[in-house]
């Protein structure tokens, strides 16, 4: 996984230290380690939030009903962080199992602690982990704030470097970032990721909208506050705009924690399989951003009939679902495996035909096979389309370098085509790494949408000498050889 430079180096060091401590203490499954860190970070965050609201209420002359009071006071981070040994273990174990009963805890918070259990059994390891998290303040004057907690958690999530059984894997942040910029979400948009994983697309869309609606003065001071948004727009963005599903219950916990630590505890993210389960809150969306599972398969009888695509392949079903759920002016940017763009099955052809004839495909970005290493070496593309009148041609872009080496290590390199892609996106010129292809040519190729199929290969012109000149040179060469042979025979006879 590429290094995440947005994380404060001190916090990154502490995060690595946390993972090392847990590993040496017997918690050696990355997902379990992150789950346990999540619970502890949440407790610290909730305590800080409780104290902040109490202080604000005091200054305003009012009262705040504290979460950590009465019988809950012993679970406050301030209390827990001072304990050790069996007392620390027993208190946290009890806290984790009772947390979903906490007063004033949001619905998302209750999901995080559903069936939660403390799994750090080594008392010294537990104390060490609590001490490290207790020291995670941003700097001497500013508490470990929302942005820092969120970035740190995303760094921890990058440690999950094994793909799931259904082909899901984390999307690198810089890929998410350029996809969000291409799709350009606006304040007031309903945004969906139906295979949200750890909610990376939703969080980046939220940050992008905030940045686009922040005054120059705030941006200069390093803050992306969205101060140009009206209060109603702020509330919509935090409470209604972000929607995500995932059929993996554990992954949803990570997503909710990620959102919670970015101050998005009211986002609509839930454990749900949109391909198989009826959605009682079904709606159309303005923006769809996703990297759906590849190489997965669903039992045919479990697939919703209204998807109407004769296949069990998840990558095809998800793209069809997303296309069906775009609103009248809706836009989508989706990572797809290369096979979807050229596969010969009836479902492949039907899906591509629908996209070409019923939607406006504004661009297909072909990415190198190593972009998703170490998770997978599969070749992928990003397809960007909208529910608008189809154009007569489609723009292709070949993204050969994304700023990281394409091997397992994914080290930073100087070569990076992403800035060039973003610069060209609006005008979409033809160049060595980008070209237009007419819809009719695509139809004649069974709706094949792979970039390489239509790339214009450069042929270098070679100038040859005139035939008469070549004949004269050949004749002269023959004469030189004949004379040479004569001299050789003469020399031998002597």
Phi/psi at 410 (5° precision): 50, 55
Domain 161-454 has CATH 1.10.3210.10: no
Indicate the average pLDDT of the chain. 85
Q: For residue 124, how many C-alpha atoms fall within 13 Å in the half-sphere facing its CB? A: 5
280-314 confidence digits (pLDDT tens): 778 899 999 999 987 667 878 888 888 888 888 89
459-488 confidence digits (pLDDT tens): 455 566 777 777 777 787 777 777 777 766
- Alpha-carbon gap, residue 343 to 364, rounded angstroms: 16
Please enumerate in sequence order all residues whose Cβ is within 8 A of that of 466, keeping only pairs 6 or more positions apart, or say none. none
374-428 confidence digits (pLDDT tens): 666 789 999 999 999 999 999 999 999 999 888 877 888 999 999 999 999 999 9
Alpha-carbon distances of 422 from 183, 207, 285, 372, 429, rounded to whole Å: 11, 18, 24, 20, 12
The residues spanned by each domain of the chain are: 9-156, 161-454, 463-494
Q: Name the least confident of 139-148, 259-268, 285-294, 356-365.
A: 139-148
Q: How many residues does the chain have?
A: 494
CATH of 9-156, one of 2.40.50.100, 1.20.1260.30, 3.10.20.30, 3.40.1170.60: 1.20.1260.30
130-153 confidence digits (pLDDT tens): 999 888 764 433 444 555 566 677
* Residue of 50 and 33 predicted with greater confidence: 33
pTM of the model: 0.80
């Amino acid at each position: 996984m590429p290094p995440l430079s947005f994380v404060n180096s001190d916090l990154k060091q502490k995060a690595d230290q946390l993972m090392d401590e847990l590993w040496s203490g017997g918690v050696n499954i990355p997902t379990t380690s992150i789950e346990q860190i999540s619970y502890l970070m949440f407790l610290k965050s909730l305590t800080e939030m409780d104290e902040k609201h109490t202080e604000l209420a005091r200054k305003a002359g009012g009262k705040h009903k504290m979460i950590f009071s009465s019988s809950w006071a012993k679970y406050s981070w301030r209390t827990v962080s001072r304990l050790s040994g069996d007392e620390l273990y027993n208190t946290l174990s009890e806290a984790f199992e009772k947390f979903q009963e906490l007063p004033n805890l949001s619905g998302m918070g209750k999901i995080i602690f559903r069936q939660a259990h403390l799994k750090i059994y080594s008392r010294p390891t537990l104390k060490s982990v609590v001490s490290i998290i207790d020291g995670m303040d941003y700097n001497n004057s500013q508490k470990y704030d929302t942005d820092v907690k969120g970035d740190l958690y995303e760094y921890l999530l990058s440690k999950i470097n094994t793909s799931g059984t259904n082909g899901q894997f984390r999307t690198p942040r810089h890929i998410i970032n350029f996809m969000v910029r291409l799709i350009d979400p606006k304040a007031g948009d309903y945004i969906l990721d139906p295979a949200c994983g750890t909610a990376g697309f939703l969080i980046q869309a939220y940050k992008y909208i905030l940045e686009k609606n922040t005054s120059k003065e705030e941006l200069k001071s390093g803050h992306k506050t969205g101060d140009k948004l009206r209060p109603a727009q702020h509330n919509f963005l935090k409470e209604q705009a972000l929607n995500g599903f995932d059929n993996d219950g554990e992954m949803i916990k990570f997503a909710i924690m990620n959102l919670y630590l970015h101050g998005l505890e009211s986002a609509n993210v839930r454990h749900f399989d949109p391909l198989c389960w009826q959605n009682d809150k079904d709606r159309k969306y303005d923006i769809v951003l996703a990297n759906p599972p590849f190489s997965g398969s669903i039992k045919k009888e479990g697939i919703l009939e209204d998807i109407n695509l004769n296949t069990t392949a998840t990558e095809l079903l998800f793209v069809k679902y997303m296309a069906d759920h775009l609103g009248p002016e809706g836009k989508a940017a989706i990572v797809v495996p290369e096979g979807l763009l050229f596969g010969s099955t009836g479902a492949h052809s039907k899906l591509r035909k629908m996209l070409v004839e019923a939607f406006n495909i504004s661009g297909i970005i072909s990415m190198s096979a190593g972009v998703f290493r170490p998770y997978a070496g599969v070749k992928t593309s990003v397809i960007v389309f909208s529910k608008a009148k189809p154009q007569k041609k489609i723009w292709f872009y070949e993204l050969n370098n994304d700023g990281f080496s394409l091997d397992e290590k994914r080290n930073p390199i100087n070569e990076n085509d992403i800035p060039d892609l973003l610069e060209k996106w609006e005008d979409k010129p033809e160049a060595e790494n980008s070209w237009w292809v007419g819809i009719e040519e695509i139809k004649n190729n069974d709706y094949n949408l792979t970039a390489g199929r239509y790339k214009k290969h450069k042929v270098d012109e070679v100038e040859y000498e005139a035939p008469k000149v070549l004949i004269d040179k050949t004749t002269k060469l023959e004469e030189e050889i004949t004379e040479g042979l004569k001299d050789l025979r003469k020399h031998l006879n002597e």
